[in-house]
Amino acid sequence: MHVMDRLYESVSRKGIVCLGLDTSLDYIPQELKNSFHNIEDLLFEFNKKIIDATEDKVACFKVQIAYYEALGLSGLKAYSRTLKYLKEIGSITIADIKRGDIADTARMYARAHFQGDFEADIITLSPYMGLDSIEPYVDYLKNKEKGVFVLVRTSNKGAEDIQYIEHAQGEKIYNTVGKKIQKLGEGLIGEKGYSSIGAVIGCTHVEEAKQIREELNSTFFLIPGYGAQGGKAEDVALYLKAGNGGVVNSSRKILLAYKERNSRDFALCAREEAIRMNDEIMSKITT
């Protein structure tokens, strides 16, 4: 099944939340730490409890590889086990790896993250070396089961340093990047109208929201910036199409909800926060 059709249907059934498993050791309750004596098992058990508590209320899970790489081989084993567990239960996985190299190096990254121990359904890529940093992944997209989210306009303040520069043709760089990746994905569109090549579009700059959504009409969005970075529910709603066409990432806000609620049940609190977040955003959908 086309990967973005799967994601579209998952949003329809479960809501627009993409739960980010950016699992830092600091996020894990001491009580759970006391029960495990190695990092691999501790990380995986925390992730598994979060997944089991939220899987029916989130559209997909995004696993940020840096949090696991930083812990060496034990961390990467937990990363692999997390992805494999999500695949076993049928959840959609986004590996947040942000690769951006070319030629044979890019093909090796594709092989590493679309098959084998680190296999995911969708990966994140940076296009700022040019489209030849995206093209080596396309063979994996043609089978319709894999996808990519390409950085177009990100949610961080530094996005203005490069992405907002106006070039000789009179438009901003992120506009050009968005149009180029939509063009590249024209032959990869599923039944729901979205390409296997999606875009990372931050919700912290709302002035251009309507234009971006209209221009990239066949591009599914991964939307960061909600919550801690300042994006509001009404801002997020502008990047969706009738409540679909995108997923909204939240990591710390969900993983650490138990601390805000002063509760020992971190998994239940994560579930409650995912539901609250989805309900808040969907309440702002007007069309």
**Catalytic residue positions?**
98
For residues 223 and 247, give the distance between their C-alpha atoms in angstroms, rounded to a whole number: 6
The model's pLDDT over 52-63, given as tens digits with 9 standing for 90+, comes to 999 999 999 999
From first to last of its 287 residues, the chain has per-residue pLDDT tens of 899 999 999 999 999 999 999 999 999 999 999 999 899 999 999 999 999 999 999 999 999 999 999 999 999 999 999 999 999 999 999 999 999 999 999 999 999 999 999 999 999 999 999 999 999 999 999 987 999 999 999 888 888 898 988 987 889 999 999 999 999 999 999 999 999 999 999 998 788 888 999 999 999 999 998 877 778 899 999 999 999 999 999 999 999 999 999 999 999 999 999 999 999 999 998 76
The model's pLDDT over 182-224, given as tens digits with 9 standing for 90+, comes to 999 999 999 999 999 999 999 987 888 889 999 999 999 999 9
Residues in the chain: 287
For the chain, give every domain's residue range: 3-282
CATH class of 3-282: alpha beta
**Of 137, 130, 67, 56, nearest in space to 96 by CA:** 67
Answer yes or no: are the C-beta atoms of 246 and 258 closer than 8 Å: no
Give the list of residues 6+ apart from residue 189 with CB closer than 8 angstroms, or none: 195, 218
